[in-house]
């Protein structure tokens, strides 16, 4: 893992960014240098190696996905009015909305350019995968924005939203690695499907941890989603199953944001507990995780490689269940 991190950071640093216009390229290097976990390029490099290729063969697609991911962050932060990202002011706050739009557009274009520089196997398929993924991510973000305006959203619709917004990029990174290494077609697809299942598990776990994490280990305050009335798998399930006074209470608490945060958190969590919402979410996380493992076992790669993939997935999902 450390070798991947080193390779990714080294190659990102090697990227030559023009110095002008400064207001276009400074925000790009600002967000790229903030780090983050680099999950997407990691997945791409790892999949290439697991399929018998080398990390170096996959570095350009890997960096392209990392750039694409950061482009989506630049624009999402405007739409979500997010002031902070990775503990630092977002580009739209530090500069302004116009600069965040335009440096996002440029980073998007640079991601494509990076992908075009790749000269190995399956280039056309990689480009198609890349562009289809981009479009799906936009669709996912649009559904997410739409949901904010809706009173009730079904569980299935929510899952489809997080599939598009989060899971497809993880899936595409894994498939890209398999494409680079010229894995057989069923294995390529299994990597993609594995990524979808892990992505869904990861996102629902994210929803779960906001309420049920061990506060000391979580690293941020619990109940952030609840305080902001964010639609999560848990809140949707609760709004689907709560009855009578509980339902009234939920609707009351989710109707505005100016409550005492701790009081609201405890009240909502109390209702979640009564309806076993945490358990329901955990069952779904298990379901996606187990499906991912089934898919993994069907991959045409050595067993030792499957263990590596499983370890990374467990690490990613911070699995202690």
Binding window for a copy of itself (CB under 8 A); candidates: 107-115, 216-224, 255-263, 264-272: 107-115
148 vs 184, which CB is nearer to a copy of itself?
A: 148
Closest CA to 187 of 170, 172, 175: 175
User: Where in 19-58 is the site for a copy of itself (CB under 8 A)?
Assistant: 21, 23-24
Give Cα separations from 66 to 8, 21, 37, 39, 169 (angstroms).
9, 22, 10, 8, 10
Binding window for a copy of itself (CB under 8 A); candidates: 36-44, 52-60, 74-82, 219-227: 74-82
Site size for a copy of itself, by CB under 8 A?
Answer: 35
Report yes or no: 8 and 38 within 8 Å, Cβ to Cβ: yes
Q: Does 15 bind a copy of itself (CB under 8 A)?
A: no
Report yes or no: 40 and 66 within 8 Å, Cβ to Cβ: yes
User: Where in 125-184 is the site for a copy of itself (CB under 8 A)?
Assistant: 127-128, 131-132, 134-135, 138-139, 141-143, 145-146
Interface pick for a copy of itself out of 6, 13, 54, 97 (rule CB under 8 A): 97
Give Cα separations from 72 to 67, 69, 196, 285 (angstroms).
9, 5, 18, 25
Q: Does 109 bind a copy of itself (CB under 8 A)?
A: yes
Report yes or no: 129 and 86 within 8 Å, Cβ to Cβ: no
Cα separation, 104 vs 97, in Å, equals 10
Return the ∠ at Cα 310 (arms to 305 and 312), rounded to 5°.
100
And the tokens for 241? 């199953």
Q: How far is the CB of 99 from a copy of itself (least distance, A)?
A: 8
124 vs 303, which CB is nearer to a copy of itself?
A: 124
Q: How far is the CB of 93 from a copy of itself (least distance, A)?
A: 15
Q: Does 98 bind a copy of itself (CB under 8 A)?
A: yes
Q: Does 228 bind a copy of itself (CB under 8 A)?
A: no
Count of C-beta atoms within a 10 Å radius of residue 279: 12
Report yes or no: 198 and 292 within 8 Å, Cβ to Cβ: yes
Q: Does 70 bind a copy of itself (CB under 8 A)?
A: no
Binding stretches for a copy of itself (CB under 8 A): 18, 21, 23-24, 75, 78-79, 97-99, 101-102, 104-106, 108-110, 112-113, 116, 124, 127-128, 131-132, 134-135, 138-139, 141-143, 145-146
């Amino acid at each position: 893992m450390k070798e991947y991190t080193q390779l990714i950071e080294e190659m990102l640093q090697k990227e030559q960014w023009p110095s002008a216009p400064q207001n276009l390229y400074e925000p790009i290097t600002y967000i790229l240098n903030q780090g983050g976990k680099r999950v997407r390029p990691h997945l791409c490099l790892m999949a290439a190696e697991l399929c018998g290729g080398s990390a170096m063969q996959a570095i350009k697609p890997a960096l392209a996905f990392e750039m694409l991911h950061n482009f989506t962050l630049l624009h999402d932060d405007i739409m979500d009015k997010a002031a902070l990202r990775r503990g630092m002011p977002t580009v739209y706050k530090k500069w302004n909305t116009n600069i965040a739009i335009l440096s996002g557009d440029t980073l998007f274009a640079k991601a494509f350019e990076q992908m075009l520089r790749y000269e190995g196997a399956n280039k056309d398929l990689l480009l198609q995968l890349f562009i289809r993924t981009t479009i799906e991510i936009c669709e996912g973000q649009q559904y997410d924005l739409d949901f904010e305006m809706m009173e009730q959203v079904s569980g299935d619709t929510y899952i489809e939203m997080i599939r598009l917004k989060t899971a497809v990029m993880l899936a595409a990174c894994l498939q890209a690695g398999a494409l680079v290494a010229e894995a057989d077609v069923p294995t390529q697809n299994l990597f993609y499907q594995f990524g979808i299942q892990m992505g869904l598990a990861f996102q629902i776990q994210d929803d779960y941890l906001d309420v049920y994490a061990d506060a000391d280990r979580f690293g941020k305050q619990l109940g952030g989603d609840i305080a902001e009335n964010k639609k999560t798998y848990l809140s949707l399930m609760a709004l689907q199953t709560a009855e009578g006074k509980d339902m009234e209470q939920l609707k009351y608490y989710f109707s505005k944001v100016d409550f005492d945060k701790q009081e609201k958190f405890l009240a909502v969590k109390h209702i979640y507990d009564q309806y076993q919402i945490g358990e329901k979410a955990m069952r779904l996380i298990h379901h996606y995780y187990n499906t991912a493992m089934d898919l993994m076992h069907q991959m045409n790669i050595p067993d030792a490689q499957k263990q590596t993939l499983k370890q990374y997935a467990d690490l990613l999902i911070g699995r202690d269940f």
